[in-house]
């Protein structure tokens, strides 16, 4: 299989695939980015060995199943390609058009988009029936869920093959249709936005809000920690996309998050968000 775009999500998906025994070609746009993704994947696989979660031989076999490239043509032999590039419609449509020319007629193309319409991504292709959504959650190797999303023209076969592949990766897949935010983000994004608004309304500190949601609502991490993990830019972008489609005020990104995004406070990836990271 192939993964296009090896940021946090794409690298996590590629890691899952090689751990599940699938030969995987990962594509990035520069050798440096490809190398960084490869280092990230081997780091987490090595950590699993150190923590006794994976045998050394299984780790070595997983690493050997991963090949990295900057050439899209190297994905030509794949049966399934998962796209995890930038969350913008035009580059995704362009990529899908290129993939169409490369892949065999029976190959499937899945997008990991969290905010865009899969039907729109598929619209520019000549075989939209082979396109589905496979939406993983951050961090992809650890979060058990994958949403399998059916676009308007996805075939039953593509939909069920993607579902079965989710199971092969050891995930709990759920089926849904292509609607804004699909299932989890439709609920989680406005909820996280409410959490951020309550910071100002209740004049609660970031730490106390996180403590409140962890110890009062049983969340594994607090909302501010979670938005830092997801990336403040990613969260604002997804909120904007949901608001544009649903027009519910709770979907709109809170001004505080927009200001943080504009200031470059993006969370863990930039070293600073609600919290500061090494």
Query: What are the residue numbers of the active site?
Result: 114, 135, 147, 185
Long-range contacts of 129-133 (CB under 8 A, 24+ apart): 129/153, 129/154, 129/155, 129/158, 130/106, 130/154, 130/155, 130/158, 131/96, 131/158, 132/108, 132/158, 132/159, 132/162, 133/178, 133/182
Closer residue to ligand CAA, CB minimum distance, 64 or 106: 64
Chain positions contacting ligand CAA, by CB under 6 A = 12, 15, 44, 47, 51, 114, 137-139, 141-143, 185, 188, 220-221, 226, 230, 234, 238
Minimum distance from residue 194 beta carbon to ligand CAA (Å): 15
Minimum distance from residue 221 beta carbon to ligand CAA (Å): 4
Closer residue to ligand CAA, CB minimum distance, 72 or 234: 234
Minimum distance from residue 222 beta carbon to ligand CAA (Å): 10
Q: If DSSP states are collapsed to H, E and C, what string results for 128-175? A: HHHEEEEEECCCCCCCCEEEEEECCCCCHHHHHHHHHHHHHCCCEEEE
Closer residue to ligand CAA, CB minimum distance, 107 or 171: 171
Closer residue to ligand CAA, CB minimum distance, 103 or 226: 226
Distances (CA, A) of 3 to 32, 56, 69: 17, 24, 10
- What whole-number distance in Å separates Cα of residue 242 and Cα of residue 250? 10
Minimum distance from residue 215 beta carbon to ligand CAA (Å): 14
Closest CA to 172 of 148, 133, 146: 146
Minimum distance from residue 140 beta carbon to ligand CAA (Å): 7
Closer residue to ligand CAA, CB minimum distance, 49 or 102: 49
Residue nearest to ligand CAA (CB): 114
- Residues 6+ positions from 256 with CB-CB distance below 8 Å: 196, 199, 200
């Amino acid at each position: 299989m192939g993964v296009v775009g090896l940021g946090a999500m794409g690298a996590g998906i590629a890691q899952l695939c090689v751990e599940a025994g699938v030969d995987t070609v990962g594509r990035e746009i520069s050798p440096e980015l490809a190398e960084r993704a490869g280092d990230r994947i081997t780091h987490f696989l090595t950590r699993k060995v150190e923590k006794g979660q994976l045998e050394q031989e299984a780790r070595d076999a997983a690493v050997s199943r991963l090949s990295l490239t900057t050439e899209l043509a190297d994905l030509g032999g794949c049966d399934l390609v998962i796209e995890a590039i930038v969350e913008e419609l035009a580059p995704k449509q362009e990529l899908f058009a290129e993939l169409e020319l490369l892949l065999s007629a029976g190959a499937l193309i899945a997008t990991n988009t969290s905010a865009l319409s899969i039907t729109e991504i598929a619209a520019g292709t000549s075989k939209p029936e082979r396109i589905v959504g496979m939406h993983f959650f951050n961090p992809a190797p650890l979060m058990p869920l994958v949403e399998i999303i059916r676009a308007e023209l996805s075939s039953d076969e593509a939909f069920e093959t993607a579902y079965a592949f989710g199971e092969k990766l050891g995930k709990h897949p759920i089926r849904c249709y292509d609607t804004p935010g699909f299932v989890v983000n439709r609920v989680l994004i406005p909820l996280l936005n409410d959490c951020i608004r309550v910071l100002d309304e209740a004049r609660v500190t970031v730490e106390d809000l996180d403590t409140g949601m962890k110890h009062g609502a049983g969340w594994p991490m607090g909302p501010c920690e979670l938005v830092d993990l997801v990336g403040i830019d990613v969260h604002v972008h997804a909120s904007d996309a949901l608001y544009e489609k649903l027009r519910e005020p709770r979907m709109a990104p809170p001004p505080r998050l927009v200001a943080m995004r504009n200031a470059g406070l993006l969370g863990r990836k930039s070293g600073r968000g609600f919290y500061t990271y090494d």
